[in-house]
Amino acid sequence: MLIAASTIKDTVQHVRRFVRGNLGGGIDHLVVFLDQPRAPGQDEVADFLDQEPHVTCVRAGRGWWGEHRPAGLNERQCTNAGLVSHLLADAPEVQWVFHVDGDEVVRIDPDALAAVPAEVPAVRLAPREAVSKATWDGDPTLFKRLLGEADLQRLHQRGAIAAATNQAHFHGHLQGKVGVRPRRDLWLGLHKAIAADRTQAPTHADERLELFHYESYSGEEFARKWGAMTTSGPRVSLRAGRSAVADAVRDVLEGEASPDARHERLLALFEETTQDDAESLVELGLVLELDPTAGTHAPRPLSEGSRTVLQRGLAEAHGTDRSAYFRGTSPRGGPGAGP
């Protein structure tokens, strides 16, 4: 059985996509923490999640944290994911726990997962990033993958990317996300599994284990996501090059007088920093064309025993100090994370 944990603040439309895609892509049960449950629109999100039999919804507001709420979003995310993985160490049927964001959908090949050596405690999901266009008719169906040097050079020579690197090709994280075999000497970071000594745990990678990232895929989505991220508390962990975008967004939000002016400036910033040359990507055959939410996996229901373990553990954790479930956002000595 596969479980995924996520800490989100998003629209009900996006959360529906998240649930549909991940349950269809291989996850059996989702544990979703609502980071700001009293914010506008979150009651509708909570109502939707509460009606889903394969979802456990946690209203992770001030009462959830008590006096121990971490200031940073990244720490809250990792603490929640760590709690879930440690609780489910007592549920033998749960084989893997993944940590994903609300704008991510997994596609997990069961044969690839079954082939992971028994002594390896973690797996990596390879990132696939939505192509960023001014607008989409519906959800994105074109996704980029990490490229080799020859393909990067082809894109660079066309002027489609500023440099022949995957850092220029992708706008979000390049590291993908991880899942762990749930146990109490292993922690979930943002993009890596962390051992008790805060080093990176051994991790198995397979291109058949995929993560589809709906990262700033349109001008409107860029304005929504980056506006929310820059006002979520202390600076979130960003890879090199994207901090400048966050700073520019913050300047717009703090400097423009009217909401309309701010919005127009954010759309212009999207075009300047993020919009992809979709035509070149398609012509060169460098994209995957698919709907990640169209998976056919039929999620297994949690057994009564596992459901009891999870619900009792969450109830006991309410309002307590849960810093023991956090071992950092990245392993010691590891590179910075992405948005």
Each residue of 67-126: pLDDT tens digit?
999 999 999 999 999 999 999 999 999 999 999 999 999 999 999 999 999 999 999 999
Each residue of 176-199: pLDDT tens digit?
999 999 999 999 999 999 999 999
Q: Tell me which long-range contacts 152-159 makes (C-beta under 8 A, separation of at least 24).
A: 154/284, 155/277, 155/280, 155/281, 155/284, 155/286, 158/277, 158/280, 158/284, 159/277
With a CB cutoff of 8 Å and minimum separation 6, the contacts of 21 are 105, 106, 212, 292, 293, 295
Q: What is the CATH number of the domain that holds 307?
A: 3.90.550
DSSP state of 32: E
Question: Quick check: is 148 in a domain?
Answer: yes
Report d(CA 327, CA 187) in Å as an integer. Answer: 6
With a CB cutoff of 8 Å and minimum separation 6, the contacts of 20 are 293
Question: Quick check: is 337 in a domain?
Answer: no
pTM over 0.85: yes
User: Residue written as tokens 């990490």?
Assistant: 146
Number of structural domains found in the chain = 1
Two tokens, residue 133: 């266009």
Q: Which helix (H) or strand (E) holds 64?
A: helix 62-65
Question: Quick check: is 336 in a domain?
Answer: no
Domain limits for position 285? 2-325
Question: Quick check: is 158 in a domain?
Answer: yes
Pair 223, 252: CB distance under 8 Å: no
Q: CA separation (Å) from 180 to 57, 194, 202, 324?
A: 21, 10, 10, 17
Ramachandran area for residue 195 (φ above 0: left; ψ -120 to 50: alpha; else beta): beta
Question: Quick check: is 49 in a domain?
Answer: yes
Question: pLDDT of the chain along its 339 residues, tens only?
Answer: 999 999 999 999 999 999 999 999 999 999 999 999 999 999 999 999 999 999 999 999 999 999 999 999 999 999 999 999 999 999 999 999 999 999 999 999 999 999 999 999 999 999 999 999 999 999 999 999 999 999 999 999 999 999 999 999 999 999 999 999 999 999 999 999 999 999 999 999 999 999 999 999 999 999 888 776 655 555 555 555 677 888 888 888 888 678 888 889 999 999 999 999 999 999 999 999 999 999 999 999 999 999 999 999 999 999 999 999 999 887 754 443 344
